[in-house]
Amino acid sequence: MLAQIDLTDVQSAQTLDKLNDIFALVEQLSAVDTSGVEPLNHPIAALLPELSLRLRDDTVSEPNRRDDYQQVAPATQDGLYLVPKVIE
């Protein structure tokens, strides 16, 4: 559908310039050496660590009760719920 957009020659040239600017920016960002840089959970953490989000550790806090929940399901297979097909 996008290939069918009707653009004038001027609009086409402007769009091409904008796309080339985006690609140039991506190339510039790709050239930055990020080895050894720890990922941040929020950009503000780089400047103000005390304001960064305090995320809890990703640990299991609930028991696995999948089998209990699936006992009452009408149909399951390999740990998944089976549902009727609704889109043909």
CB environment 44-79: b (16+ within 10 A), e (fewer): eeeeeeeeeeeeeeeeeeeeeeeeeeeeeeeeeeee
Q: What is the mean pLDDT of residues 59-87?
A: 92
Percent of the chain with pLDDT over 70: 91
Domain spans of the chain, in order of start? 8-34
pLDDT at 4: 79
- pTM for this entry: 0.41
Which has the closest alpha carbon to 85: 25, 2, 75, 31? 75
pLDDT at 10: 95
> In this structure, what token pair is assigned to residue 54?
């305090």
What is the pLDDT of the chain when averaged over all its residues? Answer: 86
Does the pLDDT of residue 11 top 90, yes or no?
Answer: yes
Q: What is the mean pLDDT of residues 43-65?
A: 78
d(CA 56, CA 59): 8
Residue 2 banded pLDDT, cuts 50, 70, 90? low
